[in-house]
Homo-oligomer: A and B are copies of this chain.
Amino acid sequence: MKRPTIADIARRAGVSKGAVSYALNGQPGVSAATRQRIIAIAEEIGFNPNSAARALSGATSNAVGLTLCRPARTLGIEPFFMELISGVEAELSARSYALTLQVVADPDAEIAVFRRWWGERRVDGVLVCDLRVDDRRVPVLEQLQLPAMVIGGPGHTGALANLWVDDAAALVEAVEYLVALGHRRIARVGGLPGLLHTEIRTRAFTDLRDRLGLSQAVTVPSDYTGEEGGRATRRLLSSPDRPTAILYDNDVMAVAGLAVAQEMGLAVPADLSIVAWDDSALCRLVHPALTALGRDIPAYGTHAARRLLAVIAGGPADGFQDQNAHLTPRGSTGPAPRDS
């Protein structure tokens, strides 16, 4: 099939190509009647502007880039990213933007992708996930002046716009709930060290431990995978002073932790309480369902996309705080065991 162009429309409407462009883009320069006629013809023949031609003259690609830096198997099981992408998509498609996705092996590859996208003019801006402490991607994006929206913070985002949530507050909410249930030996299985939000949570956990005098509150670093989360749990539960409650930095590790407790013959929540961070469907899939710190991740993605489009449109690169996570108690948490 031959694709229609503005030349076809111009011929049928008896006007110039320029007039067609003005009419279709809502620019002044054509009369209302002419505009109407042109739009009608465009709809009738199913016209869609060639995105390459548009990008080449307008210098805007109408695409946004997102890089994911996780191995295939891990990406699949972690609901966070797909939920985020769904939300991002909702906003982008409503504004006729495309999402260009690239899975990369490491931060260096990610920087290379940013440079290539910039050079190719492939995308108008990028979303940056998994912000690290002193993230090396930040200065590169600043230097390229590629519009960017960092999903993470606060801090370490340089001059880039960002969207963040107060993880420290959420952590306090979860731990204080466990303390209220009588738990004193509370452990945390943390996410990947080096990620900013992991560090923020670890810091908040340590501060809280000191404030509440929970001498044994310890963070075991992990990597978000079920394997590592299970292993960390096994180690924790094998200690003579085993914790009566464990807080996990994601849902995947919490589910793996539940399986380890069952494997070791411990009842949840009678012997061990479990709290997951990220309240995906995964938490309601298991028995008992997991108490979780949750928030609306698709909405977070939508918000981030909207802000990125604003930056692309020339708006200021501000920082915004999104809604905090809140605790949803379910069957995996209960009073601390008597003899503990």
Q: Which residues of A contact B (CB under 8 A)?
A: 1, 3-4, 46-56, 61, 63, 71-83, 85-87, 89-90, 93, 98-104, 115-116, 118-122, 143-145, 225-227, 230, 252, 255-256, 258-260, 262-263, 280-282, 284-287, 289, 297-298
Tell me whether B122 and A284 are in contact (CB under 8 A): no
Most chain B beta carbons < 10 A, residue from A82, A122, A298: A82
Tell me whether A259 and B286 are in contact (CB under 8 A): yes
- Interface of chain A: mostly helix, strand, loop or mixed: helix
Tell me whether B51 and A122 are in contact (CB under 8 A): yes
Nearest-neighbour CB distance to chain B for A252, whole angstroms, equals 7
Rounded to whole angstroms, the CA-CA distance of A75 and B76 in the bound complex is 10
Tell me whether A225 and B281 are in contact (CB under 8 A): yes
Q: Which residue of B lies closest to A86 (CB)?
A: B72
Rounded to whole angstroms, the CA-CA distance of A100 and B93 in the bound complex is 12
Tell me whether A3 and B121 are in contact (CB under 8 A): yes
Query: If A51-B121, A86-B76, A120-B50 touch, does A103 touch B93 (CB 8 Å cutoff)?
Result: yes
Tell me whether A3 and B61 are in contact (CB under 8 A): no
Name the B residues within 8 Å of A78 (CB-CB). Answer: 82
Q: With A1-B118, A76-B297, A77-B285 given, can you name 4 additional A-B contacts, CB distance below 8 Å?
A: A52-B55, A72-B90, A76-B80, A259-B285
Can you show 29 pairs from A to B with CB atoms below 8 A apart? A1-B143, A1-B145, A3-B118, A3-B119, A48-B118, A49-B120, A50-B121, A51-B52, A52-B52, A52-B55, A71-B86, A72-B87, A72-B90, A73-B298, A74-B281, A76-B81, A76-B83, A76-B86, A81-B82, A89-B103, A93-B103, A99-B100, A100-B101, A101-B101, A225-B281, A226-B281, A258-B286, A258-B287, A263-B287
